[in-house]
Amino acid sequence: MTELNWRKSSRSSTNQGNCVEVADNLPGRVLVRDTKDREGGTLTFRSASWQAFIELAKRPGLVG
């Protein structure tokens, strides 16, 4: 079993506690969780879907 390599999102707001962590070291999957509630659940995305989301989020005017 592959150990999850969690990293904090570069877009997370550290001063407000609004942080997410991403584990993208699994083949074909990306996991996302809330840093304030790490035991509260994990969202799982296909790698291609996650990459499409990231590209959309990078578009001007969508992320403040």
33 CB-near residues (< 8 Å, 6+ apart): 6, 20, 21, 40, 41, 42, 43
Question: What is the pLDDT at residue 61?
Answer: 79
pLDDT at 16: 66
Angle at alpha carbon of residue 30, lines to 58 and 27, rounded to 5°: 125
pTM, two decimals, is 0.77
Task: Per-residue pLDDT tens, the chain, 64 aa: give them.
Answer: 678 999 987 766 666 667 889 999 999 999 999 988 888 899 999 999 999 998 988 888 765 5
Query: What integer pLDDT is reported at residue 38 of this predicted model?
Result: 86
pLDDT at residue 54, rounded to an integer:
87
The domain segmentation of the chain, as residue ranges, is 6-57
